[in-house]
Structure 1
Amino acid sequence: MRRILHVVAAVIVRDGAVLACRRLPGKSAGGLWEFPGGKVEEGETLSEALRREIVEELATDVRVIEELTTDDTDLGEVTIRLSCLRCELVGPAPEASSDHDRLEWVPIDRLLELEWAGPDLPAVHLLSVSA
Structure 2
Amino acid sequence: MVEVVAGVLTRADGRVLACRRAPGRSAAGLWEFPGGKVERDERPEDALSRELLEELHIDVLVAERIDRTVTWVDATDIDLATYRVPWDAHGPSSSTDHDELRWLLPAELGSLTWAAPDLPTVQALNFATPMP
TM-score for both structures, normalised by structure 1: 0.93
Q: Deviations over 1:30-52 (max 9, x none)?
A: 10000000000011111100000
Q: Answer 1 or 2: which has greater strand percent.
A: 1
Structure 2 counterpart of 1:23 = 21
Distance of 2:88 and 2:46 partners within structure 1:
15
What is residue 6 of structure 2 aligned with on the other side?
A: 9
Residue identity in the other structure for 1:28: S
Q: Cα distance, 1:90 vs. partner?
A: 6.8
Distance 1:85 1:31 in 2: 23
Deviation of 1:65 after TM superposition, in Å, equals 1.4
Shift in CA distance, 97/76, structure 1 to aligned 2, threshold 3 Å: closer
Deviations 1:61-81 (A, max 9, x none): 121111011111112431111
Q: Distance in 2 between matches of 1:120 and 1:55?
A: 20
Between the aligned partners of 1:114 and 1:20, the Cα distance in structure 2 is 9
Quote the Cα distance in structure 2 between the aligned partners of 1:65 and 1:74: 26
Report the 3-state secondary structure (helix = DSSP H, G, I; strand = E; otherwise coil) of the residue aligned with 2:52. helix
Q: Secondary structure at the match of 1:63?
A: coil
Letter in 2 for 1:23: R
SS at match of 1:64: coil
Aligned counterpart, 1:74: 72
Moved over 3 A (4+): none
1:58·1:96 contact (CA, 8 Å) conserved in 2? yes
Q: List gaps (5 residues or longer) in structure 2.
A: none
| Gap regions ≥5 residues in structure 1 | none
Percent pairwise identity: 48
Aligned residue for 1:46?
44
Retained in 1: the 8 A contact 2:73–2:116? no
- TM-score normalised over the length of structure 2: 0.92
